A and B are shown apart, each in its own frame.
Chain A
Amino acid sequence: ETGVTQTPRHLVMGMTNKKSLKCEQHLGHNAMYWYKQSAKKPLELMFVYNFKEQTENNSVPSRFSPECPNSSHLFLHLHTLQPEDSALYLCASSQEGTSVSYEQYFGPGTRLTVT
């Protein structure tokens, strides 16, 4: 257990569906991240939230919409996805703005399949 949970763990959705991925961190961190991991590709950073403010959007298509209502929760809203969006979606958190380290802690991921 890393202190970061993700639900659901597996999701199959059609291209016309709307679904949401949820991430929750119990570590008291102030930054949260969404990553995409496709087969045979390095982990790709999608979004970063620091203190609930989005600080980075890595040219992600608008069919992915993040939401960070507070520093402990992060959502990724999905709509009209494409089959190539099938991947493992990982959430992470870290403590930013301290003199220690920005060590990232990851959740177990949501395996998304778009049919």
Chain B
Amino acid sequence: EAGVAQSPRYKIIEKRQSVAFWCNPISGHATLYWYQQILGQGPKLLIQFQNNGVVDDSQLPKDRFSAERLKGVDSTLKIQPAKLEDSAVYLCASSADISSYNSPLHFGNGTRLTVT
């Protein structure tokens, strides 16, 4: 099966600019996650979708970050305006259903964002 697709692979922007990331999950996977991984740290969940509804966005900085999953398939994550501390790898993951034990996460290769 095709894996989780993410684009772009790399992005360099200046602070206060906007950026958007795209994710296409594994076909049929109902749950989609966006994680932020700062260098030297483990992934931190930003937002979790079940189909096209938000399950958890408690750690999403909503003043600058937004995400949507229209039609319950692809998803986009946007940052506007970007700050230096947003420099990180943004990972998208999907699972067949909401239970992480029964349905392990499959990660994409991420988008490496550098904010200068």
Partners in one complex: no
Measuring CB to CB, which residues of chain A are less than 8 angstroms from any residue of chain B?
none
Measuring CB to CB, which residues of chain B are less than 8 angstroms from any residue of chain A?
none
